[in-house]
Amino acid sequence: MRGAIGGGGLVGEVDERDLWLDIGGKTAETVKDILRENGIRVDEVETGGYFSTRMGLSLDDLTTNIEPLVSAGSLREKEITRPTEEDLERAIEGVRPIPQIALKIIRMLREGDYDIDDVAMEVRQDQVIAARVLRLANSALVGAGKVIDSIDRGLIMLGEKHLLPLVLSATAEMLFGDMRPGGYSLCKGGVFHHALAAAMTAHEISVFTGRCQPDIAYTAGLLHDIGKIVLDQYVSRSAPFFYRSIENERVDLCSLEKDRFGIDHQETGGLLAKKWGLPPVLADCIQYHHGPEKSEVDRELVSIVRLADLLAARFKVGHQLDRPGVELLEETLSNIGLKREDFSIIVDKIPRSVFESSLLAT
């Protein structure tokens, strides 16, 4: 007797509780154990991941095949069309612009010359940004201890060092807000969860190494994946097959994007950065965070973001479709004056709340 196993994936509206419980994954592992204990050889396996599968059994020769289910029913991988240059240009134009208040804060952080009261006044005038800032300020991650019910109170209790990153984080949540589970986000708000973890991690690495300005490192970590906003719709259309390549074939995300869409999220992010008029140092991080050696402006900052991206993806698993490889880890560490043995020290310095708290659940 021989066996084939399919199923156990996380499908549909996935949230953090689903990731924690992983009922399907545990069930699949139990099935494997039972078959192994009974001496039944398993010929084919398609378990876990983030898509449904269909198993077929041929009664002629008793062979099985397991294929991803596609919501469109009969749609097959070969029928998924590659976006044209015009399609990508329209997608880029369709991304909501970054709020002016965020651009102003980025400029002020870069120049180190600003009036925090002026910033607070502008935040108060933007109801959407103000509401999001207050929600983040009262989240478990910030841990203010007392209820913050106004921007002015937030400024008094948190201080400018915390208020400015919160405004930028609220902006990022708006930018990534249109991305639904089924594309890059594997659970609700997945890419934003990752961006926030990467931002806070980049800040801590910058402080630890003394390389680059911590506030700029935070901002770069927050925005490094903005290119995914553009490509998200194309990933969701081909999600079962796209996910399958990432999960089973272990294909590098950027290589897979280039193959399927003719462009990767780093390149589309660079185009968005140019459209928004972001400073060159941030555009550099966005466009080369998977390959710091290609950096054209500030290799140290790009290396910090790369390391933060890697840590956020490895320690906050399951939120978004990307697990950066560790091939360039030693080179990345070397770029910021660190050695392999320093890696564990960096991990220990990152607040546990970065990887444990759910902002979107508060």
Give the model confidence (pLDDT) of 176-187 as tens digits: 887 777 788 777
Is the pLDDT at 77 greater than 70? The verdict is no
Q: How far apart are the first and last CA of the chain?
A: 50
The amino acid present at 77, given as its one-letter code, is: E
pLDDT of residue 359: 41
- As given in the structure block, the two tokens for residue 305 are 């973001």
The torsion angles phi and psi of 2, rounded to 5 degrees, stand at -125, 155
Is the pLDDT at 356 greater than 70? The verdict is no
pLDDT of residue 236: 80
**Cβ-based burial of 355 (10 A; exposed 0-12, middle 13-18, buried ≥19):** middle
pLDDT in tens, 257-285: 888 888 999 999 999 999 888 889 899 99
- How much is the mean pLDDT over the chain? 78
Among 6-10, 23-27, 305-309, the range with the most confident prediction by mean pLDDT is: 305-309
- What domains lie within the chain, and their CATH numbers? 2-69 (no CATH), 85-96+178-361 (1.10.3210.10)
Among 8-12, 65-69, 188-192, 349-353, the range with the most confident prediction by mean pLDDT is: 188-192
Q: Which residue has the higher pLDDT, 339 or 73?
A: 339
pLDDT of residue 269: 93
The residue with tokens 């697990």 is: 323
pLDDT of residue 227: 92
Pairing of strands 2-7, 64-68: unpaired
What percent of the chain has pLDDT above 90?
Answer: 10
Is the pLDDT at 143 greater than 70? The verdict is no
pLDDT of residue 34: 92
Q: What is the pTM of this model?
A: 0.74
Q: Are 166 and 158 in contact (CB under 8 A)?
A: yes
CA atoms of 101 and 157, how far apart (whole Å) = 21
Tell which residue, 340, 350, 274, 282, has the closest CA to residue 311: 350
CA atoms of 58 and 328, how far apart (whole Å) = 45
pLDDT of residue 358: 44
